[in-house]
Amino acid sequence: MNFYDILKNFQIDGEFVSCEPYGSGLINRTYVAVYKTAKGQVRYILQKINSKLFTNVDGLMNNIKLVTEFNRGEIAKRGGDPLRESLTLVYTHDGKAYYKTSDDEYYRVYVFIEQAKGYDVVEKPEHFYESAVAFGKFAQLLDRFDSSQLFEVLPDFHNTVKRFENFKKSLQADKLNRAKDVKAEIDFALSQEKYVSTIVDLLNSKKMPWRVTHNDTKLNNVLIDTNTDKAVCVIDLDTMMPGSICYDFGDSIRFGCNPCLEDTPETEKVIFSMPLFEEYARGYLSVFGDTITKVEKAHLPMGAILMTYECGIRFLTDYLDGDVYFRLKREGQNVDRTRTQFKLVKDMHAGYDKMCNIIDKY
């Protein structure tokens, strides 16, 4: 692959120096490109888009273009630094947000955000708090953005009702006769049916507003300033779609409030950390002001339960189907993943009133 031949299609000033693999992302291939300019070296992020997963690259990149340009305008109005506080696309010479090669490969370029890094695990509570501030600010910046403009990159991605229906179909088929080995997990999954339509119904009835949702609100999708430990920017915008902020809030809680690995076989060590929940809620709500509605605020704890439960039934469905979707490193990994999520759901139900009180507090 000749990176220079790809990069020369973008509006980049300076003399090409190098382009090397960068980061630990699993979906797209990411590289850092270095250019020499009169002011010194300048870096850019080059990404090869996974067009097998994101089959409509034009729709995907239009989403990113619309949101980043809107955010950059809002940040500038507030006296911020758009180049640092938002992803900035570098366009091709003919004004496109991506470049398509003759081999049907798709590439995009972002301005590199210096002196900032992402963290794969919560090394200290301050980082979790800062990630909450970043995702809260991201949602708040887009409060006036019409989410119906966005292309649905992954249809029904957080439609818990459809996820539950898919689970029941796989259970009924039980094509590999595996259901007998996970009876306790199946019984728990079925016991939660009364909750699955909560957010979907509120959105469809327009009692809860549709907003731009990030849909991958893990800690490592927030860049933290290496000097101040303050949140800088939300990254990885590929899964942005219309939805509920309860999804984004909930997925952060699912990921960040469990000190164990997602696939630990030692389920007894899995706990839902209420102090970390409070840390995140405090940060998230600190930037929203009056733009969060009462119904959204009231359902943030349920969002945490539903996102964790949804993830659990996806793992369980995949196990029943023969482990065809999620990558495995060992046999039984999907079962361990399921048990971890369901243990968190049980803990959240037990602490639900306390979660609601924490939300009210902030």
CA proximity to 313, closest of 343, 338, 346: 338
Query: Has residue 1 got a pLDDT over 70?
Result: no
Beta-strand runs (E) in 164-259? 211-213, 222-225, 231-234, 241-243
The matching CATH number, chosen from 3.90.1200.10, 3.40.50.720, 3.40.50.1360, 3.90.640.10, for 125-361 is: 3.90.1200.10
Mean pLDDT of the region 130-146: 95
Residue count (the chain): 362
CA proximity to 214, closest of 136, 107, 130: 136
Higher local confidence (pLDDT), 300 or 123: 300
CATH superfamily of 3-114: Phosphorylase Kinase; domain 1 (3.30.200.20)
CA proximity to 265, closest of 334, 336, 338: 336
pLDDT in tens, 144-160: 999 999 999 999 999 99
What is the C-alpha separation between 167 and 165, in angstroms, rounded?
5
Q: Calculate the CA 324 to chain-centre distance.
A: 22
pLDDT band at 326 (very low <50, low <70, confident <90, very high): confident
pLDDT in tens, 254-288: 988 988 888 888 888 899 999 999 999 999 999 98
Tokens 């952060």 belong to which residue? 252
Q: What are the boundaries of each domain within the chain?
A: 3-114, 125-361
Mean pLDDT of the region 110-120: 92
What is the C-alpha separation between 202 and 295, in angstroms, rounded?
9
Query: Has residue 328 got a pLDDT over 90?
Result: no
Q: Is 235 exposed, middle or buried (0-12, 13-18, 19+ CB in 10 A)?
A: buried
What is the C-alpha separation between 165 and 124, in angstroms, rounded?
38
Tokens 């016991």 belong to which residue? 191
